[in-house]
Amino acid sequence: MKIIRSESDFAHVADFQATIPEFASCCDDPHDILFRGDHFGGVVLEARVDNHCAGVLFGYPTRAHTWYNHITAVVPKFRGCGVGSALLDAFAQEATQAGATTLFVKSKNCFPSMIRLLVKKEYAIIGMEKEKILFEKIL
């Protein structure tokens, strides 16, 4: 598996997200992703397996020393192969190199594998926001 970093391929995130079954009813607006990426200095991390896009993570700094993981998505046939874990590790490394001390992410109960992965990666549940679970990791 290879992780590719891109600072400008934000349009790819929305296209990729639309291919993930769980996001069928809640895809982000491509213009919103472009705005967040450009405005906040976001990063797109892409996991490639055998030259195929297996997963994508889009995140950005939100305030001093805090980075937000806005989207993490893995193609169903590549789940359970370490793709999500590798993306989260690469995101932590990118954020740390940029001076972050905290990572933040939201998830929902309808994504139980993501919740398990976040807990495994030592993210702590810090609260709720409507139907979303808030997670934080101190680096």
Residue 63 pLDDT grade (very low, low, confident, very high; cuts 50, 70, 90): confident
The pair of structure tokens assigned to 27 is 């895809």
What domains are defined for the chain? 2-138 (3.40.630.30)
The most confident of the ranges 15-24, 32-41, 72-81, 83-92 is 83-92
pLDDT beyond 70 at 74:
yes
Write down the pTM of the prediction: 0.86
Mean pLDDT of 66-73: 92
Predicted pLDDT at 138: 98
pLDDT beyond 70 at 95:
yes
The pair of structure tokens assigned to 22 is 């769980």
pLDDT beyond 60 at 93:
yes
Which of 49-53, 115-119, 125-129 comes out lowest in average pLDDT?
49-53
Task: Indicate the SS3 state at residue 106.
Answer: strand
Q: Where do the H-state alpha helices sit in 18-122? A: 30-40, 83-97, 112-120
* C-alpha distances out from residue 71 to 27, 37, 50, 57, Å: 10, 12, 23, 5
pLDDT beyond 70 at 39:
no
Total residue count of the chain as it appears in this document: 139
* C-alpha distances out from residue 87 to 25, 26, 58, 64, 74, Å: 23, 21, 10, 22, 9
Mean pLDDT of 85-102: 96
What are the φ/ψ torsions at residue 42 (nearest 5 degrees)? -70, 170
